[in-house]
Amino acid sequence: MDTNNKITLSFLSLSENESFARSVASCFALHLNPSVAQISDIKTAVSEAVTNAIVHGYPNGVGRIVLESELVGGKIHINVFDFGVGIENIDEALEPFYTTKPDEERSGMGFTIMKSFMDEVRVVSEKGNGTKVYMTKTIRDDAV
């Protein structure tokens, strides 16, 4: 049985940090010997979660984002937290094509993309206190 392992990364909500967070999460998953497709899925989901935090969590400035990742058995758990404006209506935000920025090049597909690339996605948010995105992907069948 594998030993569980966990990392926590805190960074500023700057667009250049999105690729760093994506790389960290995918590199951390390497211990589970994922396929190239699984690595791509993780990178895409983390990219969407971090981009949402940057664009929507802190629309008027720079704030802090936390990425946590934990390996448990054959699964990787990835959490992305911001402490920004929060989401007023999560059910509405989870709908495909919903966007709070229709005048920008935003498709409103971030959560839909996360759900399609990860096995589990859960979003918790409180207006004025930020958003927490919890994602899980099974890499191996021996997941506990």
Residues carrying an active site annotation: 48, 52, 106
Q: What DSSP character marks residue 46?
A: H
On the CB side of 49, CA atoms within 13 Å amount to: 35
Report the distance separating Cα 50 and Cα 42, nearest Å: 12
CA distance 69 to 80: 9
